[in-house]
Amino acid sequence: MGWHCIKLHLPRRAGGVGFQNLLFKELSQLGGVLKCHVVRKSFPDGGDWYYFSPGTSEQLQGFIAAWDGIPVQEPTDLHCGEKII
């Protein structure tokens, strides 16, 4: 699997924290962080995009599908985002 992205358009504080809590819970059920890389980029319209590296995409296929994640090209500007995992 390649890179994937989940786009959230929820109130930033509540939506982002809730989403991240679910993400951490899913990872803990899989035995913890295993070569996982997730980067969040926030946009002025209030949306957050979460980018999942190929290894993370593979481990979290079900989670990404449940949140309507989409495959994307490898982002070139991840240094502008916040590393979540």
Q: What order do you get walking across the sheet with 82-83 strand by strand?
A: 70-71, 4-8, 48-52, 38-42, 82-83
DSSP notation for 21-81: HHHHHHHHHTTS-SS--EEEEE-TTS-EEEEE-HHHHHHTHHHHHHTT-EE-PPPS-GGGS
Which residues sit opposite 8 in a β-bridge?
48
The pTM of the full predicted model, rounded to 2 decimals, is 0.83
Domain boundaries, the chain: 4-83
Higher local confidence (pLDDT), 4 or 81:
4
How many C-beta atoms lie closer than 10 Å to residue 85's C-beta? Answer: 17
Higher local confidence (pLDDT), 68 or 12:
68
Give the pLDDT confidence of 12-54 residue by residue, as tens digits. Answer: 555 567 888 888 888 888 776 667 788 998 887 778 899 999 9
pLDDT of res. 11: 61
pLDDT of res. 21: 85
